[in-house]
């Protein structure tokens, strides 16, 4: 090996050095910032009225009480009473999300999607050991 070849930096080192030189040079350029007063309303979402979560729960419960939904759950292998008990145990955020999905669903068109969502929730809670709805799951507890 020649002494000249040993002291020559590799292509990777040259690329890294070039990138660092360019990025350090760009940091010296002046940056422009805009400051303005932001109203509180833009940062804080208004608190939801106390009745709205009750309304959401009532809509979700009414949805799961429908006969076509119950038949679809039985068809998918989900016990409607177990699904209802799991829906009753959902947090307020989960209920709002499920209510939003029910409201956005076309009339009778996305029932299977919602049932699939409940099925997945029940399956996960079975695996975590919180419920025992499905006989084919094994708890990790």
pLDDT digits (tens, 9 = 90+) for 82-124: 888 888 888 888 888 888 777 776 655 556 677 777 888 887 8
Question: Angle at which helices 80-88 and 67-75 pack, to 10 degrees?
Answer: 110
For residue 63, what pLDDT is reported? 85
Provide the pLDDT confidence category of residue 128 given band limits of 50, 70 and 90: confident
Average pLDDT of 63-91?
84
Nearest Cα residue to 128 out of 118, 137, 119 = 137
Rounding to the nearest 10 degrees, give the CA dihedral for residues 136, 64, 48, 124.
0
Query: Is this prediction's pTM over 0.75?
Result: no
């Amino acid at each position: 090996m020649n002494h000249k070849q040993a002291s020559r930096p590799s292509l990777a080192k040259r690329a890294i050095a070039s990138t660092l030189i360019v990025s350090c040079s760009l940091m010296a350029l002046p940056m422009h910032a805009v400051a303005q007063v932001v109203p509180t309303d833009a940062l804080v979402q208004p608190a939801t009225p106390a009745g709205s979560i009750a309304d959401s729960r009532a809509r979700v419960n009414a949805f799961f009480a429908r006969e076509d939904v119950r038949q679809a759950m039985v068809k998918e292998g989900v016990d409607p009473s177990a699904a209802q008990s799991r829906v009753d145990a959902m947090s307020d955020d989960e209920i709002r999300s499920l209510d939003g999905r029910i409201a956005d669903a076309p009339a009778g068109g996305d029932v299977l999607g919602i049932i699939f969502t409940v099925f997945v929730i029940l399956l996960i809670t079975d695996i975590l050991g919180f419920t025992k709805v499905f006989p084919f799951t094994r708890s990790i507890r």
